[in-house]
Structure 1
Amino acid sequence: MTDGDNLRARRERAVTDEVLASFSDAESPRLKELMAALVEHLHAFAREVRLTETEWDLAINYLTEAGQISTDRRQEFILLSDVLGLSMLTVGINAPAVHGATESTVFGPFFMQGSPQIERGGNIAEGVKGQPCYIHGVVRDVDGAPVPSARIEVWEADDDGFYDVQYEGDKVQGRGHLFSGPDGEYDFWCVLPAPYPIPHDGPVGRLLAASNRSPMRPAHVHFMVTAPGYSSLITHIFVEGSDHLDGDAVFGVKPSLIIEFKERVGFPAPGAHVDGPWVEAEFDIVLSRSGESSR
């Protein structure tokens, strides 16, 4: 290493040390820990790739655009986190490692608060295009005991691959919540989900295109399940045989969440009048108890 290299290394390290010192009096120990690690890794990244000022400027503009395109209906930073695998990594870090519990996966950018409540056997579609689909199962704990009154939030895209929030207007479709029965049972109607691309008309889409990556996700239905005394579960079920199961743009597929959706022709539809074929999927949800981190 030359004298110039030594001088450059000392100069760069001095910047990092000065920034670290600026957070040393943070009142929150956790904030201090997070910022110290962030600064160390961020500065190490810049040194490793020898970040140019032009690249730094492009990155700032990129993040600015991600903020500008985000709205209460679209969260570009969640999309960015998803396609970088940070969302799934965070899920893996925080999900309880309890044998037999339903696995978690990404939250996604299209959840909305205030979904309508439906009765068991109700229909979340509300006019969404697609083949009628009946999903049912039981919510239980890892010991097999039923979990009554669990809140089950569900949302999905339509047959064209769009969520209600991607359309103009305020119509709520393809989403709702219901509660499990005394024996943990639940059931609802929706439409058979279809594969679709994540929004790729913004900065995240440009990143995928530049990386020769697909924006596609396999067909799935979102679930968020909560019950007092149990860890919250955020997950999907994926349609067995769907395209893109081996190339999900947000890395959300897990084998245990791939479910058979069976086409029913000539079968009576439970609790609903359905003209023509319909589809059935059974998905039992297994919750871990709060504070149960490994088992």
Structure 2
Amino acid sequence: MTTEDAVAAAAATEEAVSTTTASEAAVDAVTRQAVDSLSATADPRLRDLLTALVRHLHAFARETRLTQTEWEQAVGFLTATGQACTDTRQEFILLSDVLGLSMLVETLHGHSAPGTTESTVLGPFHLTQSPDRELGDIIDLVGDGEPCVVSGRVRTADGTPLPGAVVDVWQADAHGFYDVQRPDAQPPGNGRGLFTTDAEGAFWFRTCVPSPYPIPTDGPVGTLLKASGRHPYRPAHIHFIATADGHAPVTTHIFVAGGAHLDSDAVFAVKDSLVKDFTPTDDPSLAREFGVPNPFRHARFDLVLERE
């Protein structure tokens, strides 16, 4: 290489470095201006949230070298997600669930006092008010699943019962669908119930054994799962929310022990303490007492609340 060539190469390198530096400076300036624009936000918490959101979004775009086409696709995906939401479907919660965000927020802020029931995600199907029911009522109004009794108490960690506590229950039918998904095949309120505990803090109800099911895949979230090579299945479970005066409420599930997908829940919500035996029971006298066909399954689950 001649001296002239070396000088030219050095100049070209210097120009490239200068251009890169100028480009990075321009990128940093955009982020700085976007963050500075939020400084007058009156609510301090909102200001912190928006500032962090802008910084992380800009960092994501820089790290991945996000292209204009990819940005447009992302906007289209979020638009489609919003358009998929209805009174009986919450696609954005579903998106949050499959990205692990719902479970992350729950883990950050869920109640975890020793001996209390662990919390988990709400899920996208707590969309309608559960009907008031009496203890022992049947919530499986279709009646084509395996009979099951669920019983337990609402109490504190030291065993003190909580009479008058409210237990909100909802679950899919034996085929893996919630009432809002198949209004032509299920009456409103199927698989749902709002129970009040007795003087001993006890509750019980009759239902069917829940089944594993796929989350809805006919929308943007389903497209995302397919593109990322993930299955859409949730393990069989029943949802609960327990509330009692003077105690922190808990939102949780119980999962059927031994069932499929316990180690690969599409929304990352399984916790070992929430996996419960749905015990096969062949006892005609007990079946008569509960008012269910024999044999049946029996799941026992105490909801243990933390004092506020």
Partner of 1:185: 202
Contact 2:112 2:118 in 1 (8 A): no
Partner of 2:241: 224
Q: Equivalences for 1:91-130 in 2 at 5 Å?
A: 91-130=106-145
Partner of 1:264: 281
1:183 CA drift (Å): 1.4
Q: Could you tell me which of 15, 18, 24 is aligned with 1:3?
A: 18
For residue 188 of structure 1, give the secondary structure of its aligned residue in structure 2.
Answer: strand
Contact 1:101 1:287 in 2 (8 A): yes
For residue 166 of structure 1, give the secondary structure of its aligned residue in structure 2.
Answer: coil
Partner of 2:296: 278
Contact 1:122 1:188 in 2 (8 A): yes
Task: Give the Cα separation in 2 of the matches to 1:58 and 1:105.
Answer: 32
What stretches of structure 1 of length at least 5 have no aligned partner? 291-295
Partner of 1:14: 29
1:70 CA drift (Å): 0.8
Task: Give the Cα separation in 1 of the matches to 2:90 and 2:129.
Answer: 18
Q: Could you tell me which of 80, 103, 117 is aligned with 1:88?
A: 103
Contact 1:128 1:174 in 2 (8 A): no
- Higher-Rg structure is 2
Matched, 1:242 2:279: no
Task: Give the Cα separation in 1 of the matches to 2:246 and 2:21.
Answer: 57
Output the amino acid matched with 1:114. Q
1:59 CA drift (Å): 0.3
TM-score (norm 2): 0.91
Give the length in aligned residue pairs. 290
What stretches of structure 2 of length at least 5 have no aligned partner? 1-15
Q: Deviations over 1:138-185 (max 9, x none)?
A: 111122211111110000001110000001356220101101111111
Task: Give the Cα separation in 1 of the matches to 2:213 and 2:120.
Answer: 17
1:128 CA drift (Å): 4.6
Task: Give the Cα separation in 1 of the matches to 2:223 and 2:262.
Answer: 22
Output the amino acid matched with 1:204. V
Q: Could you tell me which of 65, 68, 75 is aligned with 1:60?
A: 75
1:4 CA drift (Å): 1.5
Contact 2:177 2:213 in 1 (8 A): yes
1:271 CA drift (Å): 4.5
> Cα distance 1:185–1:264, how it changes in 2: closer, same or farther (>3 A)?
same
Contact 1:151 1:180 in 2 (8 A): yes
Q: Could you tell me which of 270, 273, 280 is aligned with 1:253?
A: 270
More helix by share: 2
Q: Could you tell me which of 191, 196, 200 is aligned with 2:217?
A: 200
Q: Could you tell me which of 284, 289, 295 is aligned with 2:307?
A: 289
Partner of 2:193: 176
1:132 CA drift (Å): 1.3
Task: Give the Cα separation in 1 of the matches to 2:62 and 2:26.
Answer: 12
For residue 20 of structure 1, give the secondary structure of its aligned residue in structure 2.
Answer: helix
Partner of 1:293: none
